[in-house]
Structure 1
Amino acid sequence: MPGGKKSNSPIDGIKRLISGRKPSRSGSSPTAASSTSSGGFLAAPQHEHAYTSPSSPTRRPDRPGLNAFSTPSNEPPPAYSLTAHSAKSPDVPAARMSFGGAQNIVAQTADDHYHFLTQIDTVFLIDDSGSMAGRSWPETAKALATITPICTSRDADGIDIYFLNAPDRDEHHNIKDAEQVSRIFDRVQPSGGTPTGRRLRNIIRPYLTKLETDGEDRTKPINIIVITDGVPTDDVEQEIITIAKKLDKLEAPSSQLGIQMLQVGREPDARKHLKQLDDDISAREDIRDIVDTVPFSGSQNEELTADGILKVVLGSVVRRLDRNSTEIHQRR
């Protein structure tokens, strides 16, 4: 700022909250907004324009505490990053921007750490390849059964579940209770390969068509949570590049679409592959960063948990909201 004075504008106040220089008003840890998970996803992002320069890689240095696989998860969710006062509830701060569509997402409120679930469609893509048989399958089913009521209490549409190999069915959509999740996992038996790229394409390309036709104000943002234990048997990297370039072409907000890839199991090649998807693509291809990954960290007692998954997703949403703020500043 000129003269070295600290700006008191609302935007700079927002940035100070993001960087953890002011206490969180959500009741979370004051430094939570800049914390990291064992997979490295809760640090404040670098401020770059999503459409003119690549987003920075999302992996952060490992730190014990926040972990999608811990039981129970032992750290509160990160503080919401963009703070304003809701017009309807003037005393409740919310991570909100005064723009339509994906730019109008409220990540958290003082009373609800997972308020973003009311405004973002939640989709799960589950690896049902043969290697998922055994511990990983019931562990994943349990986590999703626990997540479902958390989501449906905030979004009456429920959640959608896709599998890499099992055919898509009507009953896999708008799932609203844990029993429905259990029935689906009882019916689907792990077998086959790991065509992650093809399934992402099948899910996302129709969504991008709708986004292009209807615009961001009429297209609900989406989070796709991929739970997998192996290396894809197809070219998932190229699909991610294609999707990111399309979003850039449409000038969609950074919060319009996100992919979180969580590893279950102990396959070292899968861990290496996920790290490459997270660290390398955005910078190398000069595209937005739409992928966060959480590799398995190696503990024998780790278990995938609903709370851990939601904290990873929340961290991703908070970072993308921060990028929205940066984009808006640069447009003015």
Structure 2
Amino acid sequence: MNPFASSSEAPPAYTPGPAAQTNVDASRSNQTLTDTDPYAFLKTFDTLFLIDDSGSMAGRSWRETADAIKTIAPICTERDADGIDIYFLNHPDSSLYKNITTAGTVVEIFETVRPSGATPTGQRLNKILRPYLQRYERAPETTKPINIIVITDGEPSDDVESPIIQTAKKLDKLDAPAWQVGIQFFQVGKERGAREHLKQLDDGLKELAGDDDLRDIVDTVPFTGEGHAPLSAEGIIKVVLGSVNRRLDRNSKELHRRG
């Protein structure tokens, strides 16, 4: 089935089965993960994908999201021992997609979803972050850090700043490690307004919160560079590690489109 074909029919429901192998899977299948692995830091995290499946994502943005997932998912699944979790903004079954251990299964799940509806990014992040913070407060020593990768093409239709600021303040109050929670916004599409809003989330939350000491838990990166250049190796590292590695975040301006 072509997941990008124009159709009014609902996509088939996802049912677990043998994971389909992507080209990226095959190219990485024999890779030995060593101490020189640039993504080794991911092994200490639980990785979560939050995918914008709003109506504005239909078309090019949805195709770019598919390409991004095929590129990024193998990196994350190979380094999260108990599997990654996948959430969508609107898809009602997204709470079922937990502990996914193969990139092929990530692609299968994505292909069962069709974009529609609004962009309630703040609400969805809040539903992920609040219970996580409760777990961390109860058992900080045994609660793994989380790395949330949000793939979106536009501005949220709700307040996304408040749950992020509240999370950062709570982590500061609990004196949590700087990398305990990271939120990476990965922009597909070329909406200038969305790009500016995401950069504001990256660089302007301290001012918005009125707290110069507020920890930085957000990073943003675009899907492509000038002229639809493919995502570079540096860009891929930024996507999967930018929100939990401050050195990468400080270099983020080089990866954002101008124009």
TM tier, shorter chain?
0.7 to 0.9
Q: Identify which range, 289-298 or 218-227, moves more after superposition.
A: 289-298
Take 1:158 and 1:310, find their aligned partners in 2: how far apart are those partners? 19
Task: Give yes or no for the alignment of 1:175 onto 2:105.
Answer: no
In structure 2, do the counterparts of structure 1 residues 310 and 171 end up closer, same or farther at CA, with 3 Å as the change threshold?
A: farther
Are the equivalent residues in 2 in contact too, given 1:259–1:290 (CA < 8 A)?
A: yes
Take 2:36 and 2:46, find their aligned partners in 1: how far apart are those partners? 21
Shift of 1:257: 0.4
1:99 matched residue in structure 2: none
1:288 matched residue in structure 2: 215
Q: Identify which range, 298-307 or 197-206, moves more after superposition.
A: 298-307
Q: Which runs of 5+ in 1 are unaligned?
A: 1-107, 322-332
2:186 matched residue in structure 1: 262
- 1:270 partner amino acid: A
Take 2:59 and 2:120, find their aligned partners in 1: how far apart are those partners? 20
1:102 matched residue in structure 2: none
Are the equivalent residues in 2 in contact too, given 1:264–1:304 (CA < 8 A)?
A: no
Shift of 1:296: 6.1
Take 1:312 and 1:145, find their aligned partners in 2: how far apart are those partners? 13
- Paired residue total: 214
In structure 2, do the counterparts of structure 1 residues 320 and 296 end up closer, same or farther at CA, with 3 Å as the change threshold?
A: closer
Take 1:265 and 1:169, find their aligned partners in 2: how far apart are those partners? 23
1:301 matched residue in structure 2: 228
Shift of 1:163: 0.6
Secondary structure, aligned partner of 1:234: coil
1:196 matched residue in structure 2: 121
Take 1:186 and 1:140, find their aligned partners in 2: how far apart are those partners? 11
Shift of 1:128: 0.5
User: Counterparts in 2 of 1:26-175, with a 5 A limit?
Assistant: 110-169=35-94, 171-175=96-100
Secondary structure, aligned partner of 2:155: coil
Query: Which one has more relative contact order, counting CA pairs under 8 Å at least 6 apart?
Result: 1
Task: Give yes or no for the alignment of 1:186 onto 2:111.
Answer: yes
- CA RMSD, 1 decimal: 2.6
- 2:149 partner amino acid: I
Are the equivalent residues in 2 in contact too, given 1:148–1:175 (CA < 8 A)?
A: no
User: Counterparts in 2 of 1:7-26, with a 5 A limit?
Assistant: none
Are the equivalent residues in 2 in contact too, given 1:125–1:164 (CA < 8 A)?
A: yes
Shift of 1:276: 1.3
In structure 2, do the counterparts of structure 1 residues 314 and 293 end up closer, same or farther at CA, with 3 Å as the change threshold?
A: same
Take 1:310 and 1:139, find their aligned partners in 2: how far apart are those partners? 17
Shift of 1:109: 6.6
Q: What percent of counterpart residues are identical?
A: 64
The structure number with the bigger radius of gyration is: 1
Are the equivalent residues in 2 in contact too, given 1:237–1:277 (CA < 8 A)?
A: yes
Q: Which runs of 5+ in 2 are unaligned?
A: 1-32, 249-259
Shift of 1:191: 0.4
- 1:175 partner amino acid: I
Take 2:218 and 2:228, find their aligned partners in 1: how far apart are those partners? 26
